[in-house]
């Protein structure tokens, strides 16, 4: 395991990492003293680690005093593979939509006050975008961000953005939380969100939320295009983005 910067290293996490790998390699076979022998971690530290990890449901202590991985890893594993599946589903379904409308489709999820771009399916003649998979952009300025934030109560949005600086990328970017909340109310009424030159001058975007079976948003999809094509393509873009979001939602 490579250590990139010892200044920020947390030894307790490293020890927990070693213990978990030992348990994963031999589930339900290792007792505390086996783990002490395997890792070289002293007995008192191992006791504390196992007690903490058991409380957090990282590990289960079984009848024979052996240990197995706990239910937390099932939850995390489902979330991890769900994210991978969602990107694959998007790539498959967005290809046809991007070709039909002739514009680039994107997929993102909400992370705090930002959206994280997960995937992109370019049209045959794509417009150059500032966003790429792996990038983060403040959610208040983007159509996908607003499509996701609109599913939250206003008070939760206020709390989320309580300390946000509201950087303005253009003169059309929301400058405060009240302006954002006004936009989110419109998103709730329409069922989709738009960004008209709020991140980049001359670029428009339309987005809709992808939801799990319980109606909780897990991501958003969008189409992005130059402003001169926006008015003519907006009706088709709205239809395609809602259809793509619905298709992806049905697979969650």
One domain, residues 162 and 101: yes
One domain, residues 153 and 223: yes
User: Would you say residue 22 lies in a domain?
Assistant: yes
One domain, residues 103 and 55: no
One domain, residues 93 and 121: yes
User: Would you say residue 2 lies in a domain?
Assistant: no
- Give the pLDDT of residue 1: 44
User: What CATH number is given to the structural domain containing 185?
Assistant: 3.30.450.40
One domain, residues 63 and 157: no
One domain, residues 35 and 98: no
Q: What is the pLDDT of residues 58-96, one digit of tens each?
A: 999 998 899 999 888 877 766 665 566 888 899 999 999
User: What CATH number is given to the structural domain containing 53?
Assistant: 1.10.10.10
Q: What is the pLDDT of residues 9-56, one digit of tens each?
A: 889 899 999 999 999 888 888 899 999 999 999 999 999 999 999 999
- Give the pLDDT of residue 126: 61
User: Would you say residue 201 lies in a domain?
Assistant: yes
The tokens of 140 are what?
Answer: 């208040």
Range of the domain at 43: 10-70
User: Would you say residue 89 lies in a domain?
Assistant: yes
């Amino acid at each position: 395991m490579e250590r990139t910067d010892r200044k920020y290293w947390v030894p307790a996490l490293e020890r927990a990492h070693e213990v978990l790998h030992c348990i994963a390699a031999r589930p339900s076979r290792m007792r505390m003293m086996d783990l002490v022998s395997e890792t070289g971690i002293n007995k008192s530290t191992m006791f504390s680690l196992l007690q903490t990890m058991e409380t957090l449901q990282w590990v289960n202590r079984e009848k024979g005093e052996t240990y197995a991985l706990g239910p937390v890893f099932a939850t995390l594993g489902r979330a991890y593979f769900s994210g991978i599946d969602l990107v694959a589903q998007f790539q498959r379904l967005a290809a046809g939509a991007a070709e039909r409308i002739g514009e680039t489709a994107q997929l993102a999820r909400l992370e705090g006050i930002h959206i994280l771009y997960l995937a992109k399916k370019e049209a045959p003649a794509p417009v150059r975008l500032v966003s790429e998979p792996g990038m983060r952009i403040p959610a208040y300025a983007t159509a996908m961000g607003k499509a996701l934030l609109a599913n939250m109560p206003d008070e939760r949005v206020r709390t989320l953005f309580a300390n946000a600086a509201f950087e303005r990328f253009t003169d059309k970017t929301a400058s405060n939380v009240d302006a954002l909340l006004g936009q989110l109310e419109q998103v709730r009424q329409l069922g989709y969100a738009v960004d008209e030159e709020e991140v980049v001058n001359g670029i428009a975007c339309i987005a809709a939320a992808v939801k799990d079976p319980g109606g909780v948003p897990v991501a958003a999809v969008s189409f992005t295009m130059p402003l001169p094509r926006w008015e003519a393509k907006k009706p088709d873009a709205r239809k395609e983005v809602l259809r793509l979001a619905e298709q992806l939602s049905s697979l969650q």
